[in-house]
Amino acid sequence: MSADPVPAPAELAGKLITPDDSRYGLLRSTYTTVGRPAVVVLPQSAADVAAALRMARGRRLPLAVRSGGHGLSGRSTNNGGLVVDLSAMRRVEVVDRAARLVRVEAGARWARVARTLAPYGLAISSGDHGNVGVGGLATGGGIGWLVRHYGLTVDRIRAVEVVLADGTITRADPGTDPDLFWVMRGAGGGAGVAVAFEIEAVELREVGFAQLAVPVDPAGETLRRWESAMTQAPRKLSTAVTLAAQGPSVTAFITAVVASDSPAAIRRALEPLLGIGRVMVQQAHLVPYTELVSTAHLHPNTGQMRSTTTNGLFTATGPATARALVEAATGPHPVLVQLRSLGGASHDPAPSATAFAHRHQRTLAVVSAFPPDDRPTAAAAWARLAAHADGAYVNFESDPDETTFARAYPGQTGARVAELWKRYDPDGLLRGRAD
């Protein structure tokens, strides 16, 4: 902090956590990054968030905003700055059961959202882990277990409550500040601090949950058959694939989720996957949706998972892409390769409808590497794939920079995002460039 600091706002009394506080150790870091902020603020209201932003500006402190701390970039902590930790703002309320409208505060974790909605027979497709915070995911995209049935999380947001960088508290929806509403759905982190969302849920209690294991040939034709099967699959089916290598041999572990409680519908949805190769393991169950984003996932984030992750969206997995994916998993310095199916409901919105413009790609590919040589290893693996990618998803990027921005927000989308970030945060406080 500066030598003559601006006094802490009165409304933040008792809500400032400094390094000498016993709670600091559980609040300083994220899932991937150990941080050493000067102060962590635990706001309980939008007014508290506004006060925290004024404090950061007045003391010239680097600012980080945290909803859950699960983000791969680690940007929800810092060293020597101020962290706005929204974890005390975690209320979940069914506003209108008939309209399936739910109000969710940004500091809630998706496991608790699922558990709260379960008695109502409702669900919101989020990420794929229950410990992820609502705010970071719901302002960046939201590619979850129901993506082909539900769409992205941003596609079902009907309003956002936002604190702007100057401390203004506002509501954005299609009729009130539509520009802010647009940018908060896909590129919200640079425009304002989302404190709550109104989201349309779907009727859902149980889902079909299946796990398959299939050998992958060196040319990756198994992966091409998987993608082809998914383009023809019903919208109720969404899948995620993890490539596991043992020497030159690769196995695709496929997790499949069918948004139905009908055993017959589940069997029909899964059938195309059985033709992509020699299925070695097959298990299928009917489970509550809450098991996919379980409260068992909830844990403190203490920098326990250092890694470097990058990603790309692919319109089609051609022979060169398929081979490159297998080589990334089996090379001399292998990486973790994960694939997620897109299409279905995620393709329904026009590319210009939200700041997430990627509405034609079929597959998201994510590569992750781990210490000690995670950065060069990830870079080398991605070099094989980069030429084939057609865009990127900002939430699966460890080192977002100008190149990532151009891939995540292409063309006119990027121009509009940049203009709106400048309009709503002209000094760059939320982007780490405040004067």
Mean pLDDT value across residues 68-75: 94
Mean pLDDT value across residues 12-40: 97
- Secondary structure, 3-state, 31-73: CCCCCECCEEECCCCHHHHHHHHHHHHHCCCCEEEECCCCCCC
Q: In angstroms, what CA-CA distances link 71 with 90, 251, 277, 344, 352?
A: 17, 27, 34, 26, 25
Which pLDDT band, with edges at 50, 70 and 90, does 432 fall under?
confident
Q: How many CB atoms lie within 10 A of CB 248?
A: 8
Listing from the earlier edge strand, what are the strands of the sheet with 39-41? 16-17, 39-41, 82-85, 63-66
Has domain 92-204+415-425 been given CATH number 3.40.50.2300? no
The reported pTM is: 0.96
Q: Is the pLDDT of residue 338 over 60?
A: yes
Mean pLDDT value across residues 47-58: 97
380-419 pLDDT tens trace: 999 989 999 999 999 999 999 999 999 999 999 999 999 9
Pairing status of strand 16-17 against strand 63-66? unpaired
Where residue 247 falls (left for φ over 0; alpha for ψ -120 to 50; beta otherwise) is left
- Tell me: cis bond preceding 372? Omega within 30 of 0 counts: yes
- Secondary structure, 3-state, the chain: CCCCCCCCCHHHCCCEECCCCCCHHHCCCCCCCCCECCEEECCCCHHHHHHHHHHHHHCCCCEEEECCCCCCCCCCCCECCEEEEHHHCCCEEEEECCCCEEEEECCCEHHHHHHHHHHHCEECCCCCCCCCEHHHHHHHCCCCCCHHHHCCHHHHEEEEEEECCCCCEEEEECCECHHHHHHHCCCHHHCCEEEEEEEECEECCEEEEEEEEEEECCCCHHHHHHHHHHHHCCCCEEEEEEEEEECCEEEEEEEEEECCCCHHHHHHHHHHHHHCCCCCEEEEEEEEHHHCCCHHHCCCCCCCCCCEEEEEEECCCCHHHHHHHHHHHHCCCCCEEEEEECCHHHHCCCCCCCCCCCCCCCEEEEEEECCCCHHHHHHHHHHCCHHHCCCCCHHHCCCCCHHHHHHHCCHHHHHHHHHHHHHHCCCCHHHCCCC
Parse the chain into domains and list their residue ranges: 13-88, 92-204+415-425, 206-288+303-406
* pLDDT score, position 331: 86
* pLDDT score, position 2: 45
Residues 6+ apart with CB under 8 A from 322: 219, 220, 221, 223, 224
* pLDDT score, position 1: 46
Q: Is the pLDDT of residue 125 over 50?
A: yes
Q: Which of 199, 183, 1 is nearest to 100 (CA)?
A: 199
Mean pLDDT value across residues 72-79: 96
Which pLDDT band, with edges at 50, 70 and 90, does 433 fall under?
low
Q: How far apart are CA 76 and CA 113, in angstroms?
A: 21
Which pLDDT band, with edges at 50, 70 and 90, does 92 fall under?
very high
Mean pLDDT value across residues 93-106: 98
Q: How far apart are CA 401 and CA 374, in angstroms?
A: 18
206-288+303-406 has which CATH code?
Answer: 3.40.462.20
Q: How far apart are CA 311 and CA 315, in angstroms?
A: 13
13-88 has which CATH code?
Answer: 3.30.43.10
409-425 pLDDT tens trace: 999 999 999 999 999 99
266-289 pLDDT tens trace: 999 999 999 999 999 888 999 999
- Secondary structure, 3-state, 150-214: HCCHHHHEEEEEEECCCCCEEEEECCECHHHHHHHCCCHHHCCEEEEEEEECEECCEEEEEEEEE
Q: Is the pLDDT of residue 326 over 50?
A: yes
Which pLDDT band, with edges at 50, 70 and 90, does 5 fall under?
low
Residue with the bigger pLDDT between 118 and 5: it is 118
Q: How far apart are CA 255 and CA 84, in angstroms?
A: 35
Q: How many CB atoms lie within 10 A of CB 178?
A: 11
Share of the chain above pLDDT 70, in %: 98
Axis crossing angle, helix 221-232 with helix 319-330, rounded to the nearest 10: 120
Q: Is the pLDDT of residue 434 over 60?
A: no
* pLDDT score, position 91: 98
